[in-house]
Structure 1
Amino acid sequence: MRLGVLAAQAGFALPAGAEAQVTGFAIDNRKVAPGTVFGAFQGAVVNGEDFIPAAIAAGAVAVVARPEAKVEGAVHIADPNPRRAFALLAAGFFTPVPETIVAVTGTNGKTSCVEMTRQIWRMGGERSASIGTLGVTTADESISTGLTTPDIVTFLANMSGLAREGVTHVAFEASSHGLSQYRNEGLKVMAGAFTNLSRDHLDYHSDMDDYFAAKMRLYDEVVDAEGTAVIWADDEWSAKAIGHAEKRGLGVLTVGEKAGTQGSSIRLLARTPTQLGQTLEIEFAGEKRKFNLPLIGAYQAANALVSAGLVLATGGDPAQVFDALSRLQPVRGRIERAAISRVGAPVYVDYAHTPDALEAAIAALRPHCAGRLIVVFGAGGDRDPGKREPMGRVVASQADL
């Protein structure tokens, strides 16, 4: 594809080099081949502009970088926000993409929501996939590992590859890092979910307001102007999230006990724990429904209902969607039963890595525990050490050992 065509699609004017043939995109100069468009970004540790000469020597036909960057021997696509410019250009190259795309942001619940959304679509007959912490889970249940939000080139290449395999529906995790670094741009995202916000990643964000602002790029810019915001209403940050969505003119679907009685909502009326899951009573579109969810924990009920909201927001049939919730499978590493001890005690594994997530996991298990609840936990060694003490307090106060 010609560079000029890609630039025009992304809304950029080229002073020269429009006829150059583009063969790929890269943000790592070691992956540059003849015909590559190279993205040179300033990072927290490494400055990509230092590698511009090496990328050009390897055959880069264009470099996307700040206006003040030095580019000699290739087209300089200058933009004060080079990450966004690079993403928009790359989105025109990596085609086709699945026709229905949704995203999930929030401190906790992203992984469960994208996987549950994929499962609901699959049970409705759609070829679906999810992208996130667990990697890429495809329509045939195969999994490749990855980051919560991969770099923009990998992300778009994955999307295009899935479309070529016949996948029509994709749910992906939109982390605060990914949103602030423009790793999710250029696609028609028709619905975006906000699950909750609690302390995390304050090694990267200056404070909670900055962290929330990064999350809200999902509604401010990423979700299509004709799209829908699906928002868990029972979080202290939810009202602000609704405000961002409404200011943009997005449709809003609230979910939870505090979901609005006016407008679109999935209102949780009652939740009753059972031995192997829980019974949920909800109201949607004026109709009350009751069904069994084969997952334990209040937050898994929240994740399941948010996932249902995403499918409904993109055209899902309500009867099929709520029926599918009764057949959801556990998500790997999310209150996942790993073993049963010799004395019959179940052993669960959970990915909880924040104080709120750890407290939620313990609270989820407590109603199903006839004896002692024993917790073994750890905290990341090099990221936000400030959350270790509150995690310890949670375990000390909530667990029996």
Structure 2
Amino acid sequence: MKLGRLAQEAGIALDTGGEAGVTGFAIDHRKVAPGTVFGAFPGTRFNGEDFIPAAVAAGAVAIVARPEARVEGAVHIADAEPRRAFARLAARFFTPVPETIVAVTGTNGKTSTVEMTRQIWRMGGHHAASIGTLGVTTADESVSTGLTTPDIVTFLSNMTGLAREGVTHVAYEASSHGLSQYRNEGLRVTAGAFTNLSRDHLDYHGTMESYFAAKMRLFDEVIAEDGTAVVWADDPWSAKVCEHAGRRGLRVLAVGGQAETDGSSIRLLARTPTQLGQELDVEMAGERRKVVLPLIGAYQAANALVSAGLVLATGGEAGQVFDALARLQPVRGRLERAAITRAGAPVYIDYAHTPDAIEAAIAALRPHVRGRLITVLGAGGDRDEGKRPEMGRAAAAGSDLVIVTDDNPRGEDPAAIRKAVLGGCPGAMEVADRREAISAAVAAADGDDIVLVAGKGHEQGQIVGRGDAMRVLPFDDVEVAREVAAA
């Protein structure tokens, strides 16, 4: 494909080089081959502009970079937002793509919501996939990408690969990092969802307002102008989300207890916990429905209903969509029951790694606890330090016994991280080794108790060190819980 044609379709003016043939796109200079368009972006650790000469020497035909970048020997596509320009160009190169694409943003619930959306679509007869923290998930396989939102080249190539395999419907996680760095741009997004907003990633965004603004790019710029915003109405930030959607002229489909009783909203009238799940009483378009959801917890109900909203926004039939909720399967590492101890206590694994998520996971389990709720948690290193004591407070407020352990310490001193968490729960036990901490929780639990292991969820490794000294030690909370429960 000619560079000039790609630029014209992306709305980018070229002075020269339009006849150059494009064979691919790369943001890693080591992956440049003859005919590649190279994206040279300033980053927190590296400046891609430093690798422009190497990219040109490897055969790059064009460099997308800031106007002040120095480019010799290739076309310089200069833009003040080079990531956005690169994404728009790349999106014209990677074709075909699935015809129906939706995105989910929010602090918690993104992974569950995109996966539940995929399941509902599949039960409706569509060939569907989800992209996010769990990787690329289709009906018959899951391929890990290692990131909630992969880089733009991986994202677009995944989309094209899925389309060539016959996938017609895709739901993807739109993280704040991905939105602020234009990692998922250029495609027609039919609908987007907002789940909630609570403290996370302030080490990157600085303030909650900046964090929220990054999320809002989904509604301000990414969703198609004739698209739909599915908004969980029971979050304090939801009214502002609706304002952003309204300014774009997007259709708003509100979901939750505070949703209006209009024809397009899904109002949650009542939620009743059961032994293995919960019953939901919902109303839409004046019709009340009973939904038997085979998942526990208020936030799982929220995720399921937001997923239903996304499917309805993309042409799903209400009867089929609500019937499908009764057949949803648990999402890996999201209140996943990993084991039952010899004493009869169930052990749940959850990805909760923010104060709000820990509170939600505890609230989900509390109605099922006859004895004590025992919570194991830690906090990740090289991440927002301010949330650590808040995580401890959230655990202490809802648990009968808290065990503070290591999560992914990365480049920080694990003892210092644990101390920060213990600042919010000074009466907690401290067990540094994560396996020993899980073992201690299992040993302490009797048949009326429930054990919650929070923080790592689906992850299968523990990250220690940073840079060249970084190691990923094999560690899977689910497998460890099963091993210690059987020991």
Identity %: 80
**Cα distance between partner residues in 2 of 1:30 and 1:344:** 53
1:330 aligns with 2:330: yes
> 2:284 is matched with which residue?
284
- 4+ runs of 1 displaced by more than 6 Å? none
Task: Give deviations 1:242-289, integer Å, cap 9, x for gaps.
Answer: 000000000000000000123520000000000000000000111100
Q: Secondary structure of the equivalent of 1:385?
A: coil
Query: What letter is aligned with 1:8?
Result: Q
Superposition pairs for residues 195-234 of structure 1, below 5 Å?
Answer: 195-234=195-234
The aligned residue for residue 355 of structure 1 is: 355
Are positions 1:307 and 2:304 aligned together?
no
Q: Distance in 1 between matches of 2:135 and 2:378?
A: 22
Where 2:56 maps in the other structure, the secondary structure is: helix
1:357 and 1:262 map into 2 onto residues whose CA distance is 30
Q: CA deviation at 1:30?
A: 0.7
Matches within 5 A, 1:53-132: 53-132=53-132
Report what 2:423 is aligned to.
Answer: none
Q: Distance in 2 between matches of 1:285 and 1:146?
A: 40
Q: Which residue is 2:393 aligned to?
A: 393
More moved, 234-243 vs 379-388: 379-388
Q: State the shift of 1:144 in Å.
A: 3.0
Letter of the structure 1 residue corresponding to residue 311 of structure 2: V
Unpaired runs of 5+ residues, structure 2, are 402-487
**SS where residue 300 of structure 1 aligns?**
helix
Alignment partners' CA distance in 2, 1:257 and 1:58: 57
* Distance 1:279-1:177 versus aligned 2 partners, 3 A rule: same
State how 1:217-256 maps to structure 2 within 5 Å: 217-256=217-256
Deviation, structure 1 residue 140 = 2.0
Q: CA separation in 2, counterparts of 1:262 and 1:128?
A: 29
Relative contact order (C-alpha < 8 Å, sep 6+): which is higher? 1
Q: Provide the residue aligned with 2:343 in structure 1.
A: 343
The CA deviation string for residues 194-228 of structure 1, in whole angstroms up to 9 with x for no partner, is 00000000000020000000000000000000100
The letter of the residue matching 1:329 is Q
Q: Any idea what the Cα deviations from partners look like across 1:38-66, whole Å, max 9, x if unmatched?
A: 00111122111111001001110000011
The CA distance in 2 between the partners of 1:41 and 1:143, in whole Å, is 27
Residue of structure 1 equivalent to 2:41: 41
Is the CA contact 1:7–1:13 (under 8 Å) kept in the aligned structure 2?
A: yes
Task: Tell whether 2:257 aligns with 1:257.
Answer: yes
Which amino acid is 2:207 matched to? Answer: D
Structure 1 residue 308 displacement after superposition? 0.2
* CA distance in structure 2 between the partners assigned to 1:355 and 1:242 by the alignment: 25
Partner AA of 2:213 in structure 1: A
Corresponding position of 1:169: 169
Corresponding residue SS for 1:241:
helix
1:395: Cα distance to partner?
A: 1.2
User: Paired residue for 2:370?
Assistant: 370
Q: Secondary structure at the match of 1:68?
A: coil
Task: Work out whether residues 36 and 61 of structure 1, in 8 Å CA contact, stay in contact via their aligned partners in 2.
Answer: yes
The CA deviation at 1:142 is 3.4
Q: CA–CA distance in 2 between the matches of 1:338 and 1:368?
A: 16
Note if contact 2:197-2:235 (Cα within 8 Å) is conserved in structure 1.
yes
Aligned equivalent of 1:275: 275
Q: Look up the SS of the partner of 2:72 in the other structure.
A: coil
Q: Secondary structure at the match of 1:52?
A: helix
CA distance in 2: counterparts of 1:77 and 1:5, whole angstroms? 14
Distance across 1 between alignment mates of 2:274 and 2:265: 25
Mean CA deviation greater in 115-124 or 366-375: 366-375
Q: Deviations over 1:288-308 (max 9, x none)?
A: 000200000000000000000
User: Alpha-carbon deviations, 1:305-325, whole Å to 9, x = none?
Assistant: 000000000000100000000
* Alpha carbons 1:139, 1:167 under 8 Å: kept: no
Partner residue, 1:295: 295
Q: Which amino acid is 1:304 matched to?
A: A
Larger radius of gyration: 2
Kindly state the Cα deviation for residue 139 of structure 1 after the two structures are TM-superposed: 2.8
Deviation at 1:143, TM superposition (A): 3.6
CA–CA separation in structure 1 for the residues paired with 2:84 and 2:338? 42
Q: CA deviation digits over 1:84-117, x for unaligned, max 9?
A: 0000000000000000000000000000000000
| Separation (CA, whole Å) in 2 of partners of 1:360 and 1:12 | 46
Distance 1:329 1:373 in 2: 24
Query: Are the aligned partners of 2:200 and 2:384 in contact in 1 as well (CA < 8 Å)?
Result: yes
Tell me the alpha carbon deviations over residues 318-343 of structure 1, each in whole angstroms, 9 at most, x when there is no partner: 00000000000000010001011001
Cα-to-partner distance string for 1:143-179 (whole Å, 9 max, x where unaligned): 4343100000000000000000000000000000000
Instruction: Give the secondary-structure state (helix, strand or coil) at the position aligned to 1:380.
Output: coil
Q: Is the 8 A contact 1:136 1:146 kept in 2?
A: no
**Secondary structure of the residue that 1:200 maps to in structure 2?**
coil
Given the two structures, how large is their TM-score scaled by the length of structure 1? 0.99
For normalisation by structure 2, the TM-score amounts to 0.82
Taking the aligned partners of 1:24 and 1:145, their CA distance within structure 2 comes to 20
- 2:363 partner amino acid: A
What secondary structure sits across from 1:160 in the alignment? helix
SS where residue 269 of structure 2 aligns?
A: strand
1:154-165 to 2 correspondences below 5 Å: 154-165=154-165
Q: 1:146 and 1:44 mapped to 2: Cα distance?
A: 19
What is the identity, as a one-letter code, of the residue corresponding to 1:203?
D
Tell me which amino acid in the other structure corresponds to 1:48.
G
Q: Letter of the aligned partner of 2:302 in structure 1?
A: A
5+ residue gaps, structure 1, are none
> What is the aligned length?
401
Whole-Å separation in 1 of the counterparts to 2:267 and 2:141:
31
Q: Residue 260 of structure 1: SS of its match in structure 2?
A: coil
Root mean square deviation, CA, Å: 0.8
